[in-house]
Amino acid sequence: MSRNAYHRLGVAVAVGTALFLVLGIGALGIIGEGGENDRMFLAVLGVLAIGTVLARLRPRAMVAALVATSLTQVVVGVVAIARGLHDEPGASVGEILMLTAMYAGLFAASAWLFWRAAEQDAPVLVDSRR
C-alpha cells in the first residue's frame, strides 16, 4: 500500500473509533446504562483532539497522539474499575475491560497505520560500495 493509503486509512480508523466512542458515551452507555459515569471517557476524546491539533495530521506525530489516546483509554477503564463502577446496574468488570480493550485496540491500530505511513516517508539508504 502507498503512504497516502496508510494515512487515509489511519484517519478513517481514528475518526470511526472516535465517533463510535461518542455513540457509546451518548446513546448506548459504556458503564452500565450510561450517564454520568461515562463522562470520564471524554478525556480520551480530549487527548485525541489535542494530539491531532498538535500533530497537524503528520504521520510521525499522529503515532504519538494515538498511542497517548490508546493509553488514556486504558487508564480511564482502570480508573472506572478502581472506583467500583462495575457495581453499577448493567455493568461488569468484563464488560468494562472488553470495551476498554476494543477502543484502545482500535486507536492503537490507527497509530500503527500512521506508523506505516511515516515509514514510507523514511529515506532509503543506498549502499554506494557497489
* 83: three-class secondary structure by DSSP: coil
Chain centre distance of CA 111: 8
| pTM score | 0.89
What's the pLDDT tens digit per position in 111-130?
A: 999 999 998 876 645 566 65
What's the pLDDT tens digit per position in 31-54?
A: 877 778 888 999 999 999 999 999
Chain centre distance of CA 65: 9
- Between CA 38 and CA 113 the distance in angstroms is 28
Contact 24, 31 (CB under 8 A): no
| CB proximity list for 121: less than 8 A, separation 6 or greater | 3, 59, 60
Give me the percent of the chain exceeding a pLDDT of 90: 68
- Between CA 35 and CA 101 the distance in angstroms is 21
| CB proximity list for 4: less than 8 A, separation 6 or greater | 117
Q: Is the dihedral of CA 11, 13, 17, 23 positive or negative?
A: positive
Highest mean pLDDT among 24-33, 56-65, 84-93: 56-65
pLDDT at site 29: 81
